[in-house]
Amino acid sequence: MNAQLEKYEVRNRWTNAVQFTAEISTTPEMQPSIKLGLAVKWGLKNDADLGDANLGGANLRGADLRGANLRDANLRDANLRGAYLRDANLGDANLGGANLRGADLRGADLGGANLRDANLRDANLGDAYLRDANLRGADLGGANLRDANLRDANLRGAYLRDANLGGADLGGADLSGSDLSDCPVKIENIHQRVFEAASKDGALNMRVWHKGGNFCGTTHCRAGWVTHLAGEGGRALEFAFGTPAAAAMIYLASDPSLEKVPDFYCDNQTALKDMKRLAEAEVSA
């Protein structure tokens, strides 16, 4: 059938008020998800406000959404497979169950976003901001998370097999039940060993990041002490994933009951206090 011009209303997810009205070319048999996707593209082209918009289930497969402001938008169950979302603002957005497989999310702001059970397999999240994001049960297999900020993120039960975590900040992240806990490199009595080593005079320097050339040194940051104490296995992990990701993997493999990755970016006093707390708990366990 011939296409016709249709006025399509996009509403606010909170108030249900009309946020903007798009003019899109449709056919009678066109699915609502495709119409909504076309409306989003029209909105981007015409500088419409997409923040807080209700875009749940939209078909945006392969769409060019680079730099788009989708903050607080509802994109639950949306099809964003292969979409270009580089530098997009998705802070606090609802992406639960969304298909983001192979999507380009480099540099995107996903702080506080809900990505529970989302498909992010093979997605590129390099340098993405995911602080406080909910990634519980998300599929991140093969995803690029290099240099991503995942501080305090919920990664409980997430699938991270073959994910690139080089340089990722996992401080305070909840990784219990995730694939990182399957790491073969472990340190027996890790908390006691790390505290014993780092609490010696001049042994801890949280202001200087651990470097490969200093692997055998006597002064390290907290994450550096973890990889150092893990021996050649720790060194190999550090080379492959970077110091923070490698240390996170070793911590979780050595203590599966650990709910959050320690903060690798705090000051010496705070780090030592936390190391002592964990060491004492380990002794009394």
One domain for residues 68 and 177: yes
Q: What's the token pair of residue 21? A: 């009205």
One domain for residues 130 and 158: yes
| Structural domain ending residue among the three candidates 148, 182, 216 | 182
pLDDT score at 245: 85
Q: Say if residues 234 and 227 touch (Cβ distance below 8 Å).
A: yes
pLDDT score at 180: 73
**Domain with 249 in it:** 190-284
One domain for residues 68 and 209: no
pLDDT score at 98: 98
- The span from the CA of 211 to the CA of 242, in Å, is 9
Helix (H, G, I), strand (E, B) or coil at 4: strand
Helix (H, G, I), strand (E, B) or coil at 283: helix
> pTM, whole model, 2 decimals?
0.84
Residue 94's beta-bridge partner residues? 74, 114
| Structural domain ending residue among the three candidates 149, 182, 215 | 182
One domain for residues 162 and 213: no
Work out the burial of residue 2: count CB atoms within 10 Å of its CB; fewer than 13 is exposed, 13-18 middle, 19 or more buried.
exposed
Residue 160: CATH number of its domain: 2.160.20.80
- Report helix, strand and coil shares of the chain as percent, to nearest 5: 25, 15, 55
| Structural domain ending residue among the three candidates 157, 182, 207 | 182
Tell which residue, 77, 254, 101, 248, has the closest CA to residue 175. 248
pLDDT score at 213: 57
In order along its 285 residues, the chain shows pLDDT tens digits of 588 999 999 999 999 999 999 999 999 999 999 999 999 999 999 999 999 999 999 999 999 999 999 999 999 999 999 999 999 999 999 999 999 999 999 999 999 999 999 999 999 999 999 999 999 999 999 999 988 999 999 999 999 988 888 888 888 899 888 877 678 999 999 999 999 999 999 999 998 876 655 666 789 999 999 999 999 999 999 888 888 888 988 998 999 888 788 988 899 999 999 999 999 999 998
pLDDT score at 171: 86
One domain for residues 129 and 208: no
pLDDT score at 139: 97
Q: What's the token pair of residue 5? A: 């011009």
One domain for residues 110 and 206: no
One domain for residues 89 and 112: yes
Residue 6's beta-bridge partner residues? 24
One domain for residues 37 and 103: yes
Number of domains in the chain: 2
One domain for residues 174 and 253: no
One domain for residues 31 and 154: yes
- The span from the CA of 25 to the CA of 73, in Å, is 24
pLDDT score at 162: 82
One domain for residues 164 and 230: no
